[in-house]
Chain A
Amino acid sequence: MPGEHFVVPPHWEWYILGYFFLAGISGGSFVLGTMLRLWGDARDAIAARVAFLISFPTLLICPILLTLDLGQPLRFWHFLIDDSAGGLAFKVWSPMSLGAWALLIFGIFSFVMFLAALAEGGTVRALETAASFIAGAVGRVFVAVGAVLGLFVAAYTGVLLAVSNQPIWSDTWALGGLFLASGLSGAAACVLLATRSRREAQATDRKLIEADRYFILLELALIILFLATLGGVVSKVLSGGWIILWVIVLAGTLVPLALHWRGGVMRQATLFAPVLVLLGVLALRAVVIFSAQA
């Protein structure tokens, strides 16, 4: 019968929680930056630049957390190089293998856009070449490819959990989509927090709030799908102390949604709602990661 497990947990804990959170923010920020750049207007350039400025530093912490979580941190490169048979260690059916490669390649895209964003802001004038590179058609293709990788980095962590035999994680196929939707929502919250004191970004803030509203609706639908697919093990994730985390998840979705629905960019709302969203994004990952291993 599905939901029958005789397993021991892998003890993926705080480092992995931090990694999953930041991967969602980094990938999501890049995707938002790309969408603003490709579909927005000139007023959105500031928010797009901020999104790229968020993406790379948050991504940079991810491999550090991953490496610290390893039993043999100095062998982190075994994710990429096959130390026994030689050649590359690449297994398309292993999400952890794909994720390691995705982090590396997405890192290049995220780094280039980070440099370009610095140059566009005039922070580092020596980087104007990077800015000119991403300004043209090649740049549009570049960010689009980077956005696909960003989507993958934000989503694959959920698939990684599902591709196991652990209770909860392996009983659903909704985690990849759920982590992606919540990562995008968290990224929108980060950009809103970073631009909230920029009056020239106010028009974009309205768009970001609208986008975040859709992302939250998507996230809520996927939370329902996640719980519905768990079957008999749903009680394991909806009991005891985990309820507190679910309350934070709901507060991080329903309250911002209610505030966003009223429209406008009231100062209080733009500070309060994004912080709640980020807490919800963190709590969602925490309840999924820890409840399965309890």
Chain B
Amino acid sequence: MAKPVGFLTDTTLCIGCKACEVACKEWNGLPNNPIEFRDSYDNTGQLDHANWRHVRFLETTTSNPDKPIAWSMMSDVCKHCANASCLEVCPTNAIIRTEFDTVFIQQDVCNGCRDCIAACPYAVIGFNQATGTAQKCTFCYDRLQNNLMPACATACPTQSIKFGDLDTMRQTAAQRVQTLQGQGVSNARVYGDTEYGGLHALFILTEKPEAYALPSAESAVLPGRNDAPGYLTAAITAVLAGLAGLIAFRRRGDTASRTIPSPSGGGSGPSSPSPSGGASGRGL
């Protein structure tokens, strides 16, 4: 078993050059994005089947009149959660955990049911119409197997994206936050230490997680939380429906006529027949 690996993406060092996006597309042979005007430096839009790294551009207003706009860039990626929602719900076992403790979608097993897309809380997984399968960042699984760094971390010119074994990345993140706070960036924080059992893609943020479209720690919940209460509600409904059936179907039950009818189906009972609707005893 190889050591668990991790990314550390430091938003304070990101300059929005998108070298990570390009390197990812190049190495993984991902298709080009359609040309569209987005009124933003962010012309990628979102993570999906064709974008496994996405540099999010955050434009926020400040109270400083000299610097009314503050920019923050974050290179988003699959979080490779320790407790992964996608892996939890995948009905075909197409989604597996690799020897590097990362989360990987086996393209030859996935049947395109899209349950993982419904489950992913980070909007990471996309559906590829061409292959009919769900796709996302593989953590450059092929490169890891050959002792190479993932393409995005290799290409990042500012070391905003760091790669290493997970424990080292956690320590580096904690030290970096301490340094930032020492420099007066009081909002500096690590995202991913506790969410979903710990993420394999950690982030250093200077805003609340929600500002980067990341669920807060209390919102980071697994789909399975609704398994037991969902089935319990259904079971209670089933019992009540059973009681309803018992009341409706037994109340007028005539025990005297409780006999199995002949195949011709003409069970005679005390009810008075309607004048209409000539019925036959066979078929529908």
Contact = CB atoms under 8 A, between A and B. Distances in A.
B69 interface: no
Interface string A164-179: 1110011001111110
B215 A6 contact: yes
B240 interface: yes
A21 B8 CA distance: 46
Contacts of B241: 31, 151, 180-181, 184, 214-215, 218
Given A4-B219, A71-B111, A202-B274, A39 B245 contact: yes
A199 to B, nearest CB: 4
Contacts of B251: 207, 210
B121 A42 contact: no
Interface of B is mostly: loop
A200 B227 contact: no
Given A165-B85, A200-B281, A84 B93 contact: yes
Contact of B120 (A7, A69, A175, A215): A7
Interface in A12-64: 12, 31-32, 35-36, 39-46, 49-50, 53
Contacts, number: 301
Given A8-B46, A173-B226, A202 B234 contact: no
Which among A32, A70, A76, A131 has the highest number of chain B CB atoms within 10 Å?
A70
A40 B247 CA distance: 10
A49 B260 CA distance: 12
Contacts of B231: 155, 159, 176
Contacts of A222: 233, 237
A156 B48 CA distance: 29
Nearest to A66: B113
Interface residues of A, number: 97
Given A72-B133, A96-B91, A97-B91, A35 B245 contact: yes
Contacts of B148: none
Interface stretch (A120-128, A238-246, A249-257, A280-288): A120-128
B252 A206 contact: yes
Nearest to B133: A71
Given A11-B114, A35-B242, A200 B259 contact: no
B1 interface: no
A8 B226 contact: no
Which among A9, A36, A214 has the highest number of chain B CB atoms within 10 Å?
A214
A41 B255 contact: yes
B96 interface: yes
B269 A177 contact: no
B210 interface: yes
Given A156-B234, A159-B226, A199 B274 contact: yes
Contacts of A202: 271, 273-274
B35 interface: no
A207 B269 CA distance: 14
A220 interface: no
A135 interface: yes
A158 B284 contact: no
Contacts of A6: 121-123, 213-215
24 contacts: A6-B121, A8-B123, A12-B118, A39-B253, A43-B268, A45-B267, A69-B113, A70-B113, A71-B127, A72-B111, A79-B113, A96-B89, A120-B263, A121-B283, A162-B226, A163-B89, A180-B234, A199-B274, A200-B273, A200-B281, A203-B271, A214-B244, A214-B247, A215-B241
Among all A-B residue pairs, the 10 with the closest Cβ atoms:
A71-B112, A71-B132, A214-B244, A176-B234, A177-B237, A173-B229, A75-B111, A211-B248, A159-B230, A203-B271
Interface of B: 46, 48, 85, 88-94, 96, 106, 108-115, 117-123, 125-129, 131-134, 210, 213-216, 218-219, 221, 223-224, 226-227, 229-234, 236-238, 240-242, 244-255, 257-261, 263-271, 273-274, 276-279, 281-284
